[in-house]
Amino acid sequence: MQIHSNASLRSYHTFGIAQRCKFLVEVSSVEELIDIYRRPEWQSLPKMVLGQGSNVLFTTFYEGVVIINRLKGMTVSEDSKSYRLKVHAGEDWPALVESAVRQGIPGLENLAMIPGCAGSAPIQNIGAYGVEFKDVCEYVDYLCLETFTVHRVSKDECGFGYRDSVFKHHLYQKSVVVGIGLIVSKDWMPQTRYGALCHLPSDVSAEDIFEHVCHIRQEKLPDPELTGNAGSFFKNPVITTEQYQRLKARFPNIVNYPQEHGVKLAAGWLIDQCGLKGTRIGDAQVHPNQALVLVNQGNATAEDVIRLAGHVCSRVYETYGVSLEHEVRFIGAEGEVYLNELLKKECDE
């Protein structure tokens, strides 16, 4: 375990923005993780666990310890009905999905190429093309930061919602995900009802879906290795049925997905219809091909991204009366902060 002080974070988060932290440590075992949280000299410092940093924006110097999760390992077992995958939290999610599909294990293919580590998947309840993490989750293992023991919670105990879980609420800052358990049925049925997959034939294979999803994502989304970004910047807003009906009357072509409670709108469509594709503040830009993604065109600052995100939110609200919520986590000097707080602070200054 190596400890770096005043470390650069540029290569540890996919936005690639120049930011630093007080200490940075890479851990490869639960024991090392426990050691970091128990160190007397670090007791008073805030701590932040990162996998690939694919969903964060550091807004300023981080006055604490950034912990890079390098917990590796995966095992596969099966019975007559299911495949089970036991995965350590530091495993790369896209590689995990591809490995499963290539081994003939179906069920994860819709979740191809979502950047990040396995440990981040349950926190966000990641999802794409009609499938969410909760649909394949059996359990999540986490380190309790009060007792320093590993606990297991079942899928039902995870409180999964749209980009939401118990790890954002009751277990927020009280736990670190160290492993996940996935279960997929051998009685597989293709999930092709969503958007760009609905035209696929009924006899499509899991590998065909995987290849198709990869092609779509590569075509629409910028590669963070080439252009800094954190994937989808905003959540798709869920509004009431009544509000949707009012919007539908004004905007007949509004993209929507009926939910159990309300209607989900496509945030990318809303942003696109406001004419915001390509909009730039400093070196931060709304991606010209995918309005849901904000990118770093080279030397963007955190302030550039914050101001651009605020501009997008304002325009969408002015046009549709819909409030956008950022999916990307903003990390301030001591922990998580929110866009409205940052914009208010900027105005006050």
Task: Output the domain CATH number for residue 22.
Answer: 3.30.43.10
Looking at the structure of the chain, the number of domains it has is 3
Q: Indicate if 326 and 274 belong to the same structural domain.
A: yes
CB crowding 314-343: b at 16 or more within 10 Å, else e: ebbeeebebebebbbbbbbeeeebebeebb
DSSP 314-343: HHHHHHHS----B-SEEE-SSSEE-HHHHH
Listed residues 198, 216, 234: the one ending a domain:
216
Q: Indicate if 57 and 81 belong to the same structural domain.
A: no
CA distance linking residue 296 with residue 283, whole number of Å? 6
Q: Indicate if 63 and 78 belong to the same structural domain.
A: no
**pLDDT tens track, the chain, 349 positions:** 889 999 999 999 999 999 999 999 999 999 999 999 999 999 999 999 999 999 999 999 999 999 999 999 999 999 999 999 999 999 999 999 999 999 999 999 999 999 999 999 999 999 999 999 999 999 999 999 999 999 999 999 999 998 999 999 999 999 999 999 999 999 999 999 887 898 999 899 999 999 999 999 898 889 888 999 998 999 999 999 999 999 999 999 999 988 888 999 999 999 999 999 999 999 999 999 999 999 999 999 999 999 999 999 999 999 999 999 999 999 999 999 999 889 887 766 6
Task: Look at residue 348 in the predicted model and tell me its pLDDT.
Answer: 63
State both tokens at 169.
Answer: 């609420």
Paired strand residues for 257 = 264
CA distance linking residue 330 with residue 324, whole number of Å? 15
Q: Indicate if 62 and 130 belong to the same structural domain.
A: no
Q: Indicate if 154 and 272 belong to the same structural domain.
A: no
Q: Indicate if 127 and 16 belong to the same structural domain.
A: no
Q: Indicate if 92 and 196 belong to the same structural domain.
A: yes
Task: Output the domain CATH number for residue 311.
Answer: 3.90.78.10
**Residues involved in catalysis:** 163, 232, 327
Listed residues 216, 234, 268: the one ending a domain:
216
**Contact criterion met (CB below 8 Å) for 142 and 88:** no
Domain that holds residue 84: 74-216
Task: Output the domain CATH number for residue 79.
Answer: 3.30.465.10
Q: Indicate if 212 and 330 belong to the same structural domain.
A: no
Q: Indicate if 120 and 182 belong to the same structural domain.
A: yes
CA distance linking residue 179 with residue 344, whole number of Å? 38
Q: Indicate if 90 and 124 belong to the same structural domain.
A: yes
Task: Look at residue 10 in the predicted model and tell me its pLDDT.
Answer: 94
Q: Indicate if 57 and 87 belong to the same structural domain.
A: no
249 SS3 class: helix
Q: Indicate if 99 and 194 belong to the same structural domain.
A: yes
Listed residues 19, 37, 69: the one ending a domain:
69
Task: Look at residue 181 in the predicted model and tell me its pLDDT.
Answer: 98
Between β-strands 280-281 and 47-50, what pairing exists: parallel, antiparallel or unpaired?
Answer: unpaired
Q: Measuring CA to CA, how many Å separate 183 from each of 150, 190, 191?
A: 20, 16, 16
Task: Look at residue 57 in the predicted model and tell me its pLDDT.
Answer: 96
Q: Which residue reads 């800052």 in tokens?
A: 173
**What number of residues does the chain have?**
349
